[in-house]
Amino acid sequence: MRELIDKAKVIALELKQAAEKVVTIKEVDDLRVQFMGREGCLTLLIKELKDLDSLAKREVGPVLNQIRVDATEIFRRLKEDIEKREAEAANMREKGFDVSAYQPKGRPDGTRHIYSKFIEDIEDIFMSMGFSIFDGPEVETDFYNFQALNIPQNHPARDMQDTFWFEKDKKLLRTHTSNVQIHAMQKYGVPIAGVCTGRVYRYEATDATHDCMFTQCEGLLVDKNVSISQLLGTVKKFLQRLFDSKKLKIRVRPGFFPFVEPGLEVDMSCVFCKDGCSVCKKTTWIELMGAGLVHPNVLRAVKVDPEVYSGFAFGVGIERLAMLRYGIDDIRLFHSGRVKFLQQF
């Protein structure tokens, strides 16, 4: 009899300890089977009651019964707590659980992408010079990417920028940010001064300095009596600020772009050497951007009178600028997603 009571007390203690470790409803059910199932340890103990004489039964019976009642209450409470917790979690998920609340140990901190930082630097410089920031579509029509920029259908100049076309609606991925010149003048009219940074796409083979998707910065200023000297002053000031060098010089060569006349190629003096290095290919000059005075046909396309207004425009590859500023030797690294590369900035 004494032995039965002791066994019952051990079982009660074991149940209490096991109950503290239970987390899911399934674990509660498994524990119930282990203790109170047909072959459960408490059930088997209670079965042993029938072998006792009536005096012993009267003494042991209430003890075992109390343990059975307590065990039933433990299982009921466990289930109730777990169900309540699960309902709360589901409720949180529905309300939009704040993922930032979860902070696993050792999570590496992210940083802003070099593109974002560099583009912000460029925009800051132009904003401080009084330029606005424009935006424009990357999926474009033939009109904005070519025709309004004085590049008619079948004109040989179209071969300068190999294009990705959409077959369905004859749209294209813009080949340059010059499309924004047209959108901006249509939207805001003239006089106007702004820059646009954004992605452009060209159907061309990639190498260390060419990509099929890259970023350009386009500048446009249209007003009365705009001259080439204002274009050169703007470009020089911008580059001096970007490369933090007051000594930086620029030079221009004739260049052909159908949307400017005259068209120019702008080079900047090498910021890495005085008498020739591998970056400037021993010339002390680095080829940088296209520029020029806005072609009268472009002004006409947006119903601006070229007899009254004139303007300048320029376009530069942002990756090429960043490669120079940070000493990056392969343009493809920018969107390679390589953590080691990104962590440097």
User: Which residues bind to ligand FA5, rule: CB under 6 A?
Assistant: 161, 176, 178, 202, 204, 210-211, 214, 216, 218, 257, 260, 289-292, 313-317, 319-320, 331
Minimum gap (Å) between residue 25 Cβ and ligand FA5:
59
Smaller CB separation from ligand FA5, 42 or 190: 190
Comparing CB distances to ligand FA5, the nearer of 42 and 220 is 220
Angle at 248 between CA 242 and CA 251, to 5 degrees: 110
Contact between residue 79 and residue 175 where contact means Cβ atoms under 8 Å apart:
no
Nearer to ligand FA5, 163 or 216 (CB): 216
Burial environment of residue 333 by CB neighbours within 10 A (0 to 12, 13 to 18, 19 or more): middle
Cβ at position 303, least distance to ligand FA5 in Å: 20
For residue 33, the one-letter residue type is V
Nearest to 145 by CA among 124, 128, 164: 164
CB of 344 to ligand FA5, least distance (A): 20
Minimum distance between the CB of residue 275 and ligand FA5, rounded to whole angstroms? 24
CA distances from 264 to 181, 271, 293, 314, 328 (A): 17, 21, 9, 9, 26
Report the residue number, 19 or 164, with the smaller CB distance to ligand FA5: 164
C-alpha dist (Å) from residue 171 to 141, 143, 184, 229: 5, 10, 19, 37
> In the bound complex, what is the minimum distance in angstroms from residue 302's beta carbon to ligand FA5?
15
CB nearer to ligand FA5: pick between 178 and 240: 178
Single-letter residue type at 188: Y
For ligand FA5, give the closer residue by CB, 48 or 138. Answer: 138
CA distance 316 to 197: 10
The nearest distance, CB 250 to ligand FA5, in angstroms, is 13
| Residue 49 near residue 68, CB atoms below 8 Å | no
Q: How far is the CB of 326 from ligand FA5 (least distance, A)?
A: 15
CB 323 within 8 A of CB 304: no
- Which residue is it, tokens 């343009």? 331
- Residue 213 has φ and ψ, to the nearest 5°, of -130, 120
Q: Which tokens sit at 156? A: 């040989």
Of the two residues 75 and 314, which places its CB atom closer to ligand FA5 in the complex?
Answer: 314
Task: Give the nearer residue to ligand FA5 in terms of CB position, either 31 or 263.
Answer: 263
CB of 95 to ligand FA5, least distance (A): 46
Beta bridge pairs of residue 317: 216
Instruction: State in angstroms the smallest separation of the CB of 200 from ligand FA5.
Output: 7
Side by side, which strands form the sheet with 260-269?
132-134, 192-201, 213-223, 310-317, 285-294, 260-269, 250-254
CA 35/CA 13 separation, integer angstroms: 12
By beta-carbon proximity to ligand FA5, the closer residue of 113 and 210 is: 210
Q: Which spans in 170-216 are helix H?
A: 179-188
